[in-house]
């Protein structure tokens, strides 16, 4: 997955700048429109190509011999083009701002916009979990890891996550802090009460991630993770 360069962002108090990351770049509207526009454009190209080449080529030459191979390239090209365009035309209107003072989740889907602020100077409770993608999704290969972080400070909380290849995930210095989320059936059959309690807490957080978590690009997630490792040092103990 391609990663956009983060832009500069102002801190909540306006005194310092940091990085701003786009959230959910491939949100539902993008995932819905990309295949529709891609297939539609490819079909239009196919019809036009058949008609044009049918009039140009000599009798007895089937234009499909030329058009069909080009259809494959057109399908890939249109898909990449529409994905690139729609990410900017239809942004999710959610952003993560990472500064020296803290982390801010800004949600502009609501009016007025809602900001969730995590201040590095105050106590931050961090929960981290991971699981392996068992079935290939539209854009996530089978075997990749979902890496998730839940940040809690007083009444403010937010969840950020990403998907990354197994080798990239296992190369993270803080991998051991990410508790493996076990399947629900495995948790229910366990006799380790402490482990069961922890897994149940994580399952609730996973439900929250699924409902309204903030997906980041891999490099952006690593930047947030690095900030947490530096600013919330007790989490690494």
- Residue-wise pLDDT tens digits, 189-225: 666 677 788 888 999 999 999 988 999 999 999 999 9
Boundary (domain end) residue, out of 89, 113, 132: 89
Q: For position 15, what pLDDT does the model report? A: 40
Residues 154 and 216 in one domain: yes
Look at residue 232 and tell me if it is in a domain.
Answer: yes
Q: CB–CB of 179/198 below 8 Å?
A: yes
Residues 57 and 158 in one domain: no
The most distant pair of C-alpha atoms in the chain lies apart, rounded to whole Å, by 78
Look at residue 105 and tell me if it is in a domain.
Answer: no
Residues 62 and 162 in one domain: no
* Other CB atoms within 10 Å distance of the CB of residue 223: 18
Residue 183 CB-half CA count within 13 A? 6
pLDDT value at 150 more than 80: yes
pLDDT value at 9 more than 70: no
Q: For position 151, what pLDDT does the model report? A: 96
Residues 61 and 133 in one domain: no
Look at residue 215 and tell me if it is in a domain.
Answer: yes
pLDDT digit string, tens, across residues 95-142: 899 998 999 998 876 778 888 999 999 999 999 999 999 876 667 888
Q: For position 14, what pLDDT does the model report? A: 45
- Least Cα distance to 224 among 95, 94, 98 occurs for 98
């Amino acid at each position: 997955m391609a990663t956009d360069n983060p832009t500069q962002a102002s801190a909540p108090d306006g005194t310092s700048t940091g990085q701003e990351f786009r959230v959910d770049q491939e949100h539902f509207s993008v995932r819905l429109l990309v295949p529709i526009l891609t297939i539609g454009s490819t079909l239009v190209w196919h019809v036009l190509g058949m008609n044009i080449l049918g009039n140009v080529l000599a009798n007895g030459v089937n234009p499909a011999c030329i058009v069909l191979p080009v259809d494959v390239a057109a399908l890939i090209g249109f898909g990449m083009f529409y994905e690139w365009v729609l990410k900017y035309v239809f942004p999710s209107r959610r952003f993560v701002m990472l500064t020296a003072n803290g982390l801010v989740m800004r949600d502009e889907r609501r009016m007025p916009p809602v900001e969730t602020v995590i201040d590095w100077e105050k106590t931050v409770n961090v929960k981290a979990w991971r699981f392996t993608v068992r079935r290939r999704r539209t854009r996530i290969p089978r075997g990749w890891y979902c890496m998730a972080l839940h940040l809690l400070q007083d009444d403010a909380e937010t969840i950020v996550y990403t998907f990354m290849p197994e080798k990239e995930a296992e190369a993270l210095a803080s991998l051991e802090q990410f508790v493996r989320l076990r399947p629900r059936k495995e948790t229910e059959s366990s006799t380790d009460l402490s482990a069961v309690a922890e897994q149940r807490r994580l399952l609730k957080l996973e439900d929250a991630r699924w409902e309204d978590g903030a997906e980041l690009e891999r490099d952006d997630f690593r930047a947030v993770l690095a900030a947490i490792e530096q600013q919330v040092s007790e989490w690494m103990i």
